[in-house]
Amino acid sequence: DAGVIQSPRHEVTEMGQEVTLRCKPISGHNSLFWYRQTMMRGLELLIYFNNNVPIDDSGMPEDRFSAKMPNASFSTLKIQPSEPRDSAVYFCASGTANTEAFFGQGTRLTVV
């Protein structure tokens, strides 16, 4: 298995534009997590899915953020419209209950 795959690895966009981040979890994992990492706040849990169903989205900062998981092998995190303060590294991870989480390499987002 290639591990958790995220795309793109880097994204530079202008303020106000829509940004879509993509994630392919490890096959067989039933949980998927989206995290955001910044120097100021560290790693923040944004949302997680279990069996493709959103379980807790309380970490999503604003209505500008949305996440979907249409099937077991794909998830998206969308920011619309993007703002400079959204600049961060966004990680997707997958796993199963009470075991380790496997992280992707992250998407470094810069909003100018």
Partner 1 sequence: SQQGEEDPQALSIQEGENATMNCSYKTSINNLQWYRQNSGRGLVHLILIRSNEREKHSGRLRVTLDTSKKSSSLLITASRAADTASYFCATPTSNSGYALNFGKGTSLLVTP
CA gap 79, 64 in Å, rounded = 5
State in angstroms the smallest separation of the CB of 40 from partner 1: 10
Complex with partner 1: residue 54 or 81, whichever CB lies closer: 54
Which of 98, 107, 96, 82 has its CA nearest to residue 23?
107
State in angstroms the smallest separation of the CB of 20 from partner 1: 19
State in angstroms the smallest separation of the CB of 75 from partner 1: 14
CA gap 100, 89 in Å, rounded = 21
| β-pair partners for 55 | none
Residues that bind partner 1 (CB under 8 A): 4, 31, 33, 35, 42-43, 45, 48, 50, 55-56, 91, 93, 97-106
